[in-house]
Amino acid sequence: MKATNEQTVLERAKQALNDEFLRNAVKLTTEKLKNGRLSAAKQLGNWEEWRERARQIRQHTIAHLDYYLNQFADQARKQGVHVHFAKDGKEAVEIAIRIAISKQAQTVVKSKSMVSEEIHMNEALEQNGIESVETDLGEYIIQLAGEMPSHIIIPAIHKNRKQIAELLSRDANETLAPDTAVLAGYVRKKLREKFLAADIGMTGCNFAIAETGSIVLFENEGNARMVSTLPKTQITLMGMERIVPTWDDLEVMATMLPRSATGQRLTVYMSGITGPRRPDDGDGPEEMHVIILDNGRSLQLGDPEFQELLHCIRCGACLNACPVYRHIGGHSYGSTYSGPIGAVLKPALNKNVLEWDDVANASSLCGACYEACPVKIPLHDMLVYLRRRKNEAGAGLCSEKWMMKGFKVVMAKPHRLRAVLKAGRLGQMPLVRDGAISAHLGPLKGWTAYRRFPALAKPSFRERWPHLQAELKEKARRASVKEHVQLRLKQIREKRTKKTGGNRDE
Amino acid sequence: MKVSIMITCLADAIYPKVGEAMARILARYGIEADFPQLQTCCGQPAFNSGYWDEARASALTMLEAFQESDFVVTPSGSCAGMIHHYYLKLFESDEARYRQAEELIDKTYEFSRFLVHVMGVTDVGAHFPHKVTYHPSCHGSRLLGVKDEPLKLLEHVRGLELIPLPYAEDCCGFGGTFSVKMSDISGAMVSEKVDHVLETKAEVLVGIDLGCLMNIAGHLRHRGQSLRVMHLAELLDEGMGVTA
């Protein structure tokens, strides 16, 4: 399925829900990754303390982002790196193209970078007649398919082995067996030629270390190391929030990122790159550029409801934990970033409230994302804030607005609620069969397509209360164990009263 | 000691028996709960949809209804979670209301937590000879941290065979207005949840949140399944009635 941006999230989700292949593929892999994370966390021990430490490091860094970005840029320049700041995707792409043209580059090999996807770097390179080759296996597959990644860590998570074999067979002009070793073998052979021929290596950046101006890459396939050692010129794309202050801080991140992403204790390769090749280095690029991208990130700074978004370390754990993502896959979200983090990032990065789609509604607010997040970003709260901001801007659904006005009127006064329940009981009479409603009517339509709706009870609890009260009085009088319980209640209340200053009951 | 029932709009309108069961269990321990008539709804449907003014109007009835209470007990982890997690934010610009919200938070308990942590009861002496599976609701377990309490209470019920629910921690797909606005996604989620419930071959599904239970039961009936769905308070009350 190829997603188009004109559709709503719900419309795209409906397509995905009818795609059994996609749902099974996503379910299988997210579950494997989720279980991997859980067992890695257990094996490490003290997971909650690690999470809290990681959160503190991110919080401190983002709170002082200007300082650490300057430090990083200064240190990187001292090492001979060309540091560029780009305010948006367009500027970042222009900088990269300028470098490529000045090098008369014909081929760029790339390791995995979500920022590159975010700013559509591949299209820009191709438009300028420069071949762009993704060298991460998953990215290579979706580049062939002409799609966006549908997962932050596993870009081709929505494809099964058979679909991948078909894609690669077309690329190879021969039939390849749907066997992992065969398929990976084909791509490896093909990419070797590209690595050797490429003029520019383009990487993402998992973390940038402010104290030494270094960039750090986590990967499993060794392709990022090839990309960052073979071509003469290296361009690294990084989001401006990727910074950590020191290598000591990286230790905590290196503990959290692979475990949260794939359940690995460490990825197969972890590269720390400080500047271009020195005279006595064995390999590395002769020239190195780092493009630091804002693209809406700085809009979060100072926003108490969204600054924590910048804490994200792009591990994808929230996607793997999310039951909505599992059913609808990444493309339904209609943006580079999918899942719970994508549902918040997509609107928040562009504070163009009036153009926001329904992505923030695509969550049951179950909180599984927050629970899985290694840096404790409260995504479930942020989704509610997004909904509120949309309504405040007058961009909410009209029908919902009137329903909520009604809610306010009714719920503000108990006698109105009582009257509405009474009226509702009369109104529902023609619809109720066996204590439930299954008619597909009005606002109930969405509900009754999948479920019966229970009828309003008669009497309601508040109507029944006067009778119940007499029964309870008698029961309580006859109770035999009351002293012990009463004593506990008294103690707990006293403890509480002391804590809050004791002014409540005076 | 004034222990008050926060009935929640859902139990008031649709599941009054759950409130009755809860009140009867408390009465058996000598707690004669009261029911402040001022209360309506915690405001969550409006709050989660991003209509905070509307949510505040409803939440105000809660602040006022329970001013005199020493303890507030509710048969919902989600509504208790709403109060615990969002009332301070909801009333942050009104100092007096903010203080009232703090007080309400301090005294508001989800039913099973009140039983276990406040009353100190894990064995209510109930008898319920059935195969039972338990769905831990997301807001109760994740927002409020009510995880072990319902299980402790169920473990002590005579004759009850507790069957673990596969993928228990997965959301049932309710999510309030989500179930209507994104009904296809919600439908896929509840369908998966019901598959897991049926896998257990349990006779009864029990939970601590009526939103989730209404959703799961609604889909069970939609599929023609008659498996019994009960709130924990109903199960314990019924089981206590047997021994009394």
Per-run averaged pLDDT (10 residues), chain A, 506 residues: 68 95 95 97 98 98 98 98 98 98 97 97 97 97 96 95 95 95 95 96 98 98 96 98 98 98 97 96 95 97 97 98 97 96 94 90 97 98 97 91 95 95 92 87 84 93 95 90 89 81 34
Q: What is the pLDDT of residues A176-233, one digit of tens each?
A: 999 999 999 999 999 999 999 999 999 999 999 999 999 999 999 999 999 999 999 9
CA nearest neighbour of A220 among A265, A285, A183: A265
Q: How far apart are CA A196 and CA A164, in angstroms?
A: 25
CB atoms within 10 A of CB A392: 14
Confirm or reject contact between B101 and chain A (CB < 8 A): no
Reduced to 3 DSSP states, what percent helix, strand and coil does chain A have, rounded to the nearest 5?
A: 55, 10, 35
Interface of B with A in 64-93 (CB under 8 A): 70-71
User: In this structure, are A36 and A119 located in the same domain?
Assistant: yes
The residue among A274, A300, A326 that closes a domain is A300
Q: How far away is chain B from the Cα of A112, in angstroms, using its nearest Cα?
A: 30
CA distance to partner chain B, nearest, from residue A404 (Å) = 6
Cα gap B170→B193, rounded to integer Å: 8
- Domain end call among A279, A300, A321: A300
CA atoms within 13 A on the CB side of B202: 24
Contact with chain A for residue B11, Cβ under 8 A: yes
Taking CB atoms and an 8 Å cutoff, what residues of chain A touch B106?
A: 496, 499-500
Query: Do A443 and A467 reside in the same domain of the chain?
Result: no
Q: Do residues A276 and A406 share a domain?
A: no
A477's tokens: 């009088």
Could you list the residue range(s) of the whole structural domain that residue A421 is in? 398-454
Do B178 and A361 lie within an 8 Å CB cutoff?
yes
Inform me whether the C-beta atom of residue A486 falls under 8 Å from chain B C-beta atoms: yes
Residue A101 sits in a domain of what CATH number? 3.40.50.10420
A164 Cβ neighbours under 8 A, 6+ residues apart: A141, A156, A178, A183
Burial of A387 (0-12, 13-18, 19+ CB in 10 A): buried
In the predicted model, what is the mean pLDDT of chain A?
Answer: 94
Report the predicted TM-score, pTM, of the whole model to 2 decimal places: 0.95
The CB density around residue A277, as the number of other CB atoms within 10 Å, is 17
C-alpha to C-alpha distances, B101 to B61, B112, B187, nearest whole angstrom:
11, 22, 35
What digits encode the pLDDT tens for the residues B104-140? 999 999 999 999 999 999 999 999 999 999 999 999 9
A190 and A232 in a common domain: yes
Residue A325 counted as domain residue: no
A492 and A410 assigned to the same domain = no
Supply the pLDDT for residue A5: 56
Judge whether A371 lies within some domain. no
Domain co-membership, A43 together with A136: yes
| A193 occurs within a structural domain | yes
Contact A481, B123 (CB under 8 A): no
Give the pLDDT score at A6: 74
Respond yes or no on whether ipTM tops 0.85: yes
Establish if A442 belongs to a structural domain.
yes
A394 contact B CB<8A: no
Residue A442's CB is within 10 A of a number of other CB atoms, namely 7
Q: At what angle do helices B183-199 and B210-222 cross, to 10 degrees?
A: 80
Question: In terms of domains, do A405 and A488 share one?
Answer: no
Share of chain A above pLDDT 70, in %: 97
How close, in Å, is residue A299 to chain B by CA atoms? 21
- Rounded to 5 degrees, φ, ψ at A338 are -120, -175
Burial of A325 from C-beta contacts in 10 A (0-12 / 13-18 / 19+): buried
**pLDDT tens track for A123-162:** 999 999 999 999 999 999 999 999 999 999 999 999 999 9
Does any domain span residue A382? no
Q: Which of B157, B161, B162 is nearest to B239 (CA)?
A: B157
Same domain for A151 and A192: yes
Q: Which of A322, A434, A451, A485 to mutate to test the interface with B (most CBs of B within 10 A)?
A: A451
The answer to whether residue A409 sits within a structural domain is yes
Q: Which of B48, B170, B176 sits opposite A323 (nearest CB)?
A: B170
Last residue of a domain, which of A270, A300, A330?
A: A300
pLDDT at A505: 32
Q: How far apart are CA A97 and CA A92, in angstroms?
A: 9
* Contacts of residue A118, Cβ cutoff 8 Å, sequence gap at least 6: A89, A293, A295, A336, A337
- Residue A502's pLDDT is what? 37
| Same structural domain, A24 and A151 | yes
What whole-number distance in Å separates Cα of residue A188 and Cα of residue A209?
A: 31
